[in-house]
Structure 1
Amino acid sequence: MACATPGSVSVSRSTTCSKSSAGSVTIGPRKSEAGKRIVSVPELLLPDLRTHLNTYAGEGDEGLVFIGPKGAQLRRANFTRTWSKAISATNLSGFHFHDLRHTGNTFASQSGATLRELMNRMGHSTTRAALIYQHTAMERDRAIADALGKLAKEALSKEDPDRSGT
């Protein structure tokens, strides 16, 4: 995983798992140009990301983010077994690896990211997938109402300075 700038990752390749019993993994280019991207990582996560890369990932900019215990490329069955152990250890159930992506993108949406910004972070070329992450939440609706109120109050105070205190 190459870093484009400090605190970001460059996504340039993807893996495809075969459905065969061997579960081989093929590394290749992203499905679309939109999939090739640079994504900033929250500063809070950087120490954990560095620890993971130093402990569990392949070496160098071209190293795989997840490798097996002997340093080789993971197969689908190995990853599934390792993921299942991790989920059990945390007392979670029904939690899939892809749920991490969904959670991160939902948080990005809730942070105020525009549809275009979500598409860029996720590597999508259409709005269809990005819209999935724009869940309606009452907390967000309250934040929108509060922001609208603030804008209205500012506009009114410009028109009538005597109303600025109301």
Structure 2
Amino acid sequence: MGAPLRGTSFGRKWRKAREAVAMPKEFRFYDLRHTGNTLAADTGAKLKDLMVRAGQSPERAQLIYQHSTKEHQRRLADDIDATVRLQRVPGDRGRPSPAGAGHMFVPAPPASGRTARAR
């Protein structure tokens, strides 16, 4: 591992690398960090994971990388639904499934097949 680059040396090397891959002139080195942490957050990284990846300790700084989109909200809802469905055991009346997380309470569907709202 060599000596750290001075700011001016780094700038020249960054410009050369950016031009080599046809990145726009406005694309800053910082944008790589932002993109990487945003992708990590979008794929489910927890706050602590982002803090370690970025080398930053303040939680507030990590909120910059966490963008909420309709697509991400839909994926979250689908994942929650799938988790709940896996933990349900028909006729078990709310007791956790042996295969499910023992700390969760997921009620079974009403015996009549109607929802509480339909009553």
What are structure 1's unaligned runs of at least 5 residues?
Answer: 1-57, 65-72
Q: CA deviation at 1:74?
A: 2.5
The alignment-based identity, stated in percent, is: 42
Residues 51-93 of structure 1 deviation map (CA, whole Å, 9 limit, x = unaligned)? xxxxxxx3xxxx44xxxxxxxx422222212211221222211
Q: What's the counterpart of residue 7 of structure 2?
A: 76
What are structure 2's unaligned runs of at least 5 residues?
Answer: 93-108, 110-119
TM-score w.r.t. the length of structure 2 is: 0.64
Q: CA deviation at 1:128?
A: 0.8
- Aligned counterpart for 1:126 among listed residues 37, 42, 58: 58
Q: What's the counterpart of residue 17 of structure 2?
A: 86
5 Å-filtered alignment, 1:1-166, equals 58=1, 63-64=2-3, 73-93=4-24, 94-155=26-87, 157-160=88-91
Which has a greater percent of strand?
Answer: 1
Secondary structure of the corresponding residue to residue 5 of structure 2 = coil
Residues 18-61 of structure 1 deviation map (CA, whole Å, 9 limit, x = unaligned)? xxxxxxxxxxxxxxxxxxxxxxxxxxxxxxxxxxxxxxxx3xxx
Q: Distance in 2 between matches of 1:131 and 1:160?
A: 42
In terms of Rg, which structure is larger? 2
Over the residues paired in the alignment, what is the CA RMSD in angstroms?
2.3
Given the superposition, is the C-alpha separation of residues 82 and 121 from structure 1 closer, same or farther in structure 2, using an over 3 Å criterion?
A: closer
Give the aligned length: 93
The AA in structure 2 aligned to 1:140 is H
The AA in structure 2 aligned to 1:149 is D
The AA in structure 2 aligned to 1:145 is A
Q: Which has the higher contact order (CA 8 A, sep 6+)?
A: 1
Moved over 4 A (4+): none
